[in-house]
């Protein structure tokens, strides 16, 4: 029975698999470094967004040695717009550890993989299965949804206690990487969160939810997102038309990213420091009323109302800050700050 289910899935995968830039049909030629980059990027980011950014990232950091020798600012700039910037910071830190501790070789065992910053059970399982052809679980939200429906589970307790061991038994010794990617594709293409295409699913005749005509996943309470209010200051230096930018504190939201001076919404100990520093910049400036506006941005756990203040000056003494032309800076900025540019300058 187990072999039959696995065979159905793999046969479907052989004919329907997605062609993706980080996939290599020859398992012996898979580069664990490139796979690792793709899996980190794909966390919280859609496949379509990652496709082009993955190629661009690898062009700048083609191997782990170049990545480890680069500055954190360079890595964050290349990550700009992808969000969840702790992923990039962890990626950079982990690359240094891999070079120093493992001679630049991505480890293939679970213990060493999970010890690296930013690598949890899912990425560890994906790397071990796909890059090293080891029998390993790679359970992300797609796999969780498939498992939940396949066994018609009603609670997280059932999922943890019953399904994972059963699911592990489906992984073939000969093709664990193909099995992992087949589950990824099945979740993305067929067993979707909304409106699953059950009639095209290779596992439908074995799926308990399909047999019972029940297709809901385990329900999760929708979290209410509180709103935060912040201020952002856009200051242009008229002598050369450059804008004032700062580096955010390393930890926290937009950590280490290039940004317009902003405060009031970070909700960390750094917020008071930022406020004091920024107010020292702007206390003698005259802000244009017609350039005072508001933008709205949604993070994973809160909504932000950001008031923008615009001023021009011929001289501004700085202790912390960088003057950069907006056209040069915009590709290095997080999405929030790109919204500020669009709001003010179109």
List, by residue number, the catalytic residues: 39
Average per-residue pLDDT for the chain: 88
Is 217 contained in some domain? no
pLDDT at 229: 93
Does the pLDDT at position 42 exceed 90? yes
Rounded CA gap, 24 and 168, in Å? 24
Please indicate, yes or no, whether residues 193 and 243 belong to a single structural domain of this protein: no
Q: 332: phi > 0 → left, psi -120 to 50 → alpha, else beta; which? A: alpha
CATH number of the domain where residue 231 is located? 3.90.79.10
Question: Nearest 5°: CA angle at 38, between 33 and 39?
Answer: 100
Task: Give residue-wise pLDDT tens across range 12-36.
Answer: 999 999 999 998 877 778 999 999 9
Domain that holds residue 43: 2-212
Does the pLDDT at position 316 exceed 80? no
pLDDT at 197: 92
Please indicate, yes or no, whether residues 188 and 257 belong to a single structural domain of this protein: no
pLDDT at 299: 85
pLDDT at 272: 83
Q: Of 237 and 271, which is predicted with more confidence?
A: 237
Rounded CA gap, 343 and 291, in Å? 9
Q: Report, as an integer, the average pLDDT of 89-108.
A: 96
Does the pLDDT at position 52 exceed 90? no
Please indicate, yes or no, whether residues 177 and 71 belong to a single structural domain of this protein: yes
Report whether 264 contacts 187 (CB < 8 A). Answer: no
Band (pLDDT 50/70/90 cuts) for residue 290 is: low
Rounded CA gap, 152 and 135, in Å? 24
Report whether 77 contacts 88 (CB < 8 A). Answer: no
Please indicate, yes or no, whether residues 141 and 242 belong to a single structural domain of this protein: no
Does the pLDDT at position 111 exceed 60? yes
Report pTM.
0.82
pLDDT at 106: 96
Q: Report, as an integer, the average pLDDT of 119-144.
A: 92
Question: Nearest 5°: CA angle at 334, between 234 and 265?
Answer: 65
């Amino acid at each position: 029975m187990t072999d039959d289910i696995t065979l159905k899935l793999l046969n479907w995968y052989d004919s329907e698999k997605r062609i993706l830039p980080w996939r290599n049909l020859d398992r012996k030629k898979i580069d664990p470094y490139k796979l690792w980059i793709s899996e980190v990027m794909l966390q919280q980011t859609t496949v379509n967004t990652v496709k082009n950014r993955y190629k661009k990232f690898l062009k700048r950091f083609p191997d782990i040695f170049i990545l480890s020798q680069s500055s954190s600012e360079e890595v964050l700039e290349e990550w700009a717009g992808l969000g969840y910037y702790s992923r990039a910071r962890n990626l950079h830190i982990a690359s240094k550890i891999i070079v120093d501790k493992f001679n630049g070789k991505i480890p293939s065992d679970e213990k060493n993989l999970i010890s690296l910053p930013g690598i949890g059970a899912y990425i560890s399982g994906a790397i071990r299965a796909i890059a090293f052809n080891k029998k390993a679980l790679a359970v992300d939200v797609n796999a969780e949804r498939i498992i939940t429906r396949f066994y018609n589970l009603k609670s997280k307790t059932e999922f943890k206690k019953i399904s994972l061991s059963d699911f592990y038994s489906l992984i073939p010794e000969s093709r664990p990487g193909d099995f992992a990617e087949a589950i990824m594709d099945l979740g993305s293409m067929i067993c979707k969160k909304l409106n699953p295409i059950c009639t095209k699913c290779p596992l439908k005749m074995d799926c308990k939810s399909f047999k019972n005509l029940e297709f809901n996943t385990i329900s999760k309470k929708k979290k209410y997102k509180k709103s935060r209010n912040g201020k952002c200051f856009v200051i242009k230096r008229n002598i050369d038309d450059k804008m004032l930018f700062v580096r955010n504190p390393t930890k926290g939201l937009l950590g280490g990213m290039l940004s317009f001076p902003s405060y009031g919404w970070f909700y960390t100990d750094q917020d008071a420091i930022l406020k004091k520093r920024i107010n020292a910049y702007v206390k003698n400036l005259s802000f244009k009323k017609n350039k005072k506006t508001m933008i709205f941005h949604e993070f994973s756990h809160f909504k932000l109302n950001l008031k923008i203040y615009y001023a021009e000056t011929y001289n501004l003494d700085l202790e912390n800050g960088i003057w950069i032309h907006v056209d040069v800076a915009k590709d290095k900025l997080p999405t929030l700050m790109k919204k500020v540019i669009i709001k003010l300058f179109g």
